[in-house]
Amino acid sequence: MSRKSKKQKSSSASLHSLRNLVLNFLGGNSGRAYSLKQLAKKLGLKKQNEQQSLHQTMLALTQEGKIKQLDNGSYTSKREEKTLTGVVDHVSSRFAYVNVGEETPDVYVRTQDLKTAVDGDTVKLVLLPGQHGEHPIGRVTEIIRRNRTRFVGRLQRTKNFGFVIPDFRKIHEDFIVYPEDLNGARENDKVVVEVIDWAEPGENPVARVVEILGKAGENEAEIHSIMAEFGLPFRFPEAVEREANKIDEGITPAEIKKRKDFRHATTFTIDPEDAKDFDDALSLEILPNGNYRVGIHIADVTHYVKPNSALDQEAYDRATSVYLVDRTVPMLPERLSNELCSLRPHEDKLTFSAVFELDKNAHIINEWFGRTIIHSDHRFTYEEAQEILDKGKGLFAEELKILNDLAKKLRKERFARGAVNFETTEVKFRLDDKGRPLEVIPKIRKDAHKLIEEFMLLANKRVATFVFNLGKQKKKEDDDTATGKTFVYRIHDYPDPEKVKDFAVFARQFGHRINIDERSISRSLNKLMDEIEGKPEQNVLQQLAVRAMAKAKYSTEPKGHFGLAFDHYTHFTSPIRRYPDVLVHRLLYHYLNKGKSVNKAEYEAMCVHSSEREKRAADAERASIKYKQVEYMSMMAPGMVYDGLISGVTEWGIYVELIDTKCEGMIRLADLDDDYYEYDEKNYCVVGRRTRKIYTLGDQVRVKVKKTDIDRRLIDLVLAKSK
């Protein structure tokens, strides 16, 4: 072969190799465009003849339709891209996951590929070659909807501008604020800012101060910052307050005639010591046949709050009261929640009631639902009622004992039917007059709490069943009707089998076995809850069991409630603090008066809104508890050693819950200095590369506090050295 033909063959081979190089590079970066100069740099082509070959290759690939040249002369892949839509969960400053639906694993996206999207934003993204563990890798191509444009943080000043460090730990960039947009804010103020320019990827967004909440670290400023972070309202609009104040509190003889009168029956409320709104009361009468008539009387909010009024629209928007550590953000103004609707003792009150005739075994003989009037004889706190139950004497001791015995029988039957006994440990705080936490106190549920809970569950279940059966009767009478009566149900689906399987693997590390068969899961979980009672792993396992379950929500679909083992369930018993209960009262009254079924789509939209608001409330309540826990730990003596349990493991750290205070902090993997630890996602652990030492969920460890960050509500822990 001649030297010339060898040279031609070599040149042809290198061009073929270059074609593949270009196609692979552009294919792996689909959605991005590169100029010739950028491509040469990316592909490492420095020599002039290599760059000429690249130009020649690009022209050929464009003519063949393998790649596309844009109007500005740059080149991009022509490969068809799979586009997905999802919501950003920005878990780390280095990367995020995008939730694209239950059927597909979350997509891993590096921060530099988020295109300025932040946590909670809805985005469009394309998948890239490769995997990150079990997750596909993607890149954001478009921001469809911003979840929020207002953020809360602490202001710091430099000579030329200010910047706001966001409180929310999933926002990983500071906001620049120029002097003309500071609005009087000073160094170390907690402020609310609104973004005015998201800037380019990799640059800090620009914002302006719209509200000053106070000095960082002060209780009012910190609680207000939590309220602002979750979009909770600080006050009621004037029009709503005016409308509430105009409502006449008089109960007329004409109104009483429309109702069943229970003012003769022994009636009382049992509530937390600091409660101001009493929205449920119990009455008890012993009937001549030896059975009991138990009335579950609920504040008749719908008598005062009319559909489409300013009050109703505000209540719908809020959808729920929110209980922060030191205050309540109510759904209804005080005029209603603490006065007109509150079932205060020694006052006639309008109620909506579920009344049951029960035999001595708590079996239902008769039931009745309707509007009533009551007169509460006494207001008990849970502690007062419990003391009477314990001692067997005191005010209404006989009535409390009868109700408690009936409640225990209802509870026993519920668990026999497959209800799951989830009793996670909650905490409350003893605060000083400045709101500083003096003590973290675990809440203990006793018989008085369970008594009230059981009768509320009974009312909720029977109201839902009653309306569902009305729909079935109507279908029998007229086969042309659709699917019965539209109603607002509280539903709780069966748990995801994979999540239950993962939880069972984890529980086995403590020596507990769980039967993951769908028919046995509830009984097996109850057995586990009994086994772990009082043990160090109790709280961790309870929390993880709850996380393995589906989330309860509102729906017009009568799907039943797995956790309670009820075929039909609703929320009827708390209309002062939950809007779905207001809807349930209106619908029940409508159907009791032979009303036709209402528009299902309209009520489903209200269910979705209420479920979303409920999640917001739960997140805000957790944030306020976390703030007080961090503040409490910041006040502890330095160097104290605490016993804790590993409650979570991630690729950046180990979460530890302190056994005594239930406060949770994190040991960063970088602070484990005896080895380099790697995250094992499948087995919920981190493993030392050299020593093979393992830290896994549920391990007991001894820790010290390294640092507390009240702004971001974080506790950094380190392992305490062994003696």
Q: What is the pLDDT of residues 421-461, one digit of tens each?
A: 776 678 889 999 888 999 888 888 899 999 999 999 999 99
Domain identity same for 268 and 306:
yes
Q: What is the pLDDT of residue 2?
A: 47
Q: What is the pLDDT of residue 722?
A: 59
Residue 478's pLDDT band (boundaries 50, 70, 90)?
A: low
pLDDT in tens, 33-90: 888 888 888 888 888 888 888 888 888 888 888 888 887 888 887 766 678 999 999 9
Q: What is the pLDDT of residue 16?
A: 67
Q: How far is CA 391 from CA 9, 53, 384, 405, in A?
A: 101, 95, 11, 15
Domain identity same for 288 and 336:
yes
Average pLDDT rounded to a whole number, residues 469-498? 75
pLDDT in tens, 585-629: 999 999 999 999 999 999 999 999 999 999 999 999 999 999 999
Residue 483's pLDDT band (boundaries 50, 70, 90)?
A: low
Domain identity same for 584 and 439:
yes
Half-sphere exposure at residue 556, Cβ-oriented, CA atoms within 13 angstroms? 21
CATH number at residue 23: 1.10.10.10
Tokens of 362: 């708590």
- Ranges assigned E (strand) in 316-445: 322-324, 327-329, 348-358, 364-375, 378-381, 427-431, 437-442
Residue 481's pLDDT band (boundaries 50, 70, 90)?
A: very low
Q: What is the pTM of this model?
A: 0.82
Domain identity same for 141 and 169:
no
Strand order in the sheet with 694-696: 677-680, 685-688, 694-696
Specify if 517 maps to a domain.
Answer: no
Q: What is the pLDDT of residue 79?
A: 64
Domain identity same for 437 and 586:
yes
Coil, strand or helix: which one is 355? strand
Domain identity same for 281 and 386:
yes
Where b means 16+ CB within 10 Å and e means fewer, 495-518 reads: beeeebebbbebbeebebebebee
Domain identity same for 453 and 324:
yes
Domain identity same for 20 and 54:
yes
On the question of pLDDT at 480 being above 50, the answer is no
pLDDT in tens, 135-168: 899 999 999 999 999 999 999 998 889 999 999 8
Residue 383's pLDDT band (boundaries 50, 70, 90)?
A: very high
Tokens of 498: 């994979």
DSSP 601-613: HHHHHHHHHHHHH
Residue 5's pLDDT band (boundaries 50, 70, 90)?
A: very low
Average of per-residue pLDDT values in the chain:
89
Specify if 223 maps to a domain.
Answer: no
Specify if 493 maps to a domain.
Answer: no
Specify if 501 maps to a domain.
Answer: no
CATH number at residue 703: 2.40.50.140
The residue range of the domain holding 282 is 251-469+562-617
Cα separation, 486 vs 239, whole angstroms: 32
Last residue of a domain, one of 77, 106, 129: 77
On the question of pLDDT at 8 being above 80, the answer is no
Q: What is the pLDDT of residue 7?
A: 43
pLDDT in tens, 289-348: 999 999 999 999 999 999 999 999 999 999 999 999 999 999 999 999 999 999 999 999
Q: What is the pLDDT of residue 15?
A: 63
141/505: higher pLDDT? 141
Mean pLDDT is lowest, of 75-79, 184-188, 246-250, for: 75-79
- Ranges assigned E (strand) in 487-598: 489-491, 553-555
Domain identity same for 204 and 314:
no
Evaluate whether 463 touches 482 at the Cβ level (below 8 Å). Answer: no
Residue 476's pLDDT band (boundaries 50, 70, 90)?
A: low
Q: At what angle do helices 600-634 and 579-592 cross, to 10 degrees?
A: 150
Q: What is the DSSP letter of 338?
A: I
Tokens of 65: 């339709």
387 burial type by CB count under 10 A (0-12 exposed, 13-18 middle, 19+ buried): middle
CA torsion sign, 205 to 211 to 216 to 221? negative
Specify if 586 maps to a domain.
Answer: yes
Domain identity same for 372 and 399:
yes
Domain identity same for 392 and 265:
yes
Closest of 20, 21, 29, 15 to residue 57, by C-alpha: 15
Cα separation, 614 vs 608, whole angstroms: 10
Residue 520 contacts by C-beta under 8 Å, 6 or more apart in sequence?
A: none
Looking up tokens 């490969």, which residue turns up? Answer: 79
Which run of H or E residues covers position 157? strand 150-157
Q: pLDDT exceeding 90 applies to what percent of the chain?
A: 62
Cα separation, 650 vs 52, whole angstroms: 48
Residue 414 contacts by C-beta under 8 Å, 6 or more apart in sequence?
A: 454, 457, 564, 565
Q: Where are the alpha helices (DSSP H) in 566-686?
A: 579-592, 600-634
Q: What is the pLDDT of residue 6?
A: 41
pLDDT in tens, 288-299: 999 999 999 999
Evaluate whether 98 touches 86 at the Cβ level (below 8 Å). Answer: yes
Specify if 482 maps to a domain.
Answer: no
Cα separation, 106 vs 95, whole angstroms: 12
Q: What is the pLDDT of residue 31?
A: 66
Q: What is the pLDDT of residue 267?
A: 98
Q: What is the pLDDT of residue 179?
A: 94
Domain identity same for 704 and 599:
no
Q: How far is CA 639 from CA 387, 635, 703, 705, 721, in A?
A: 41, 12, 9, 7, 11
Last residue of a domain, one of 30, 58, 77: 77
CATH number at residue 179: 2.40.50.700
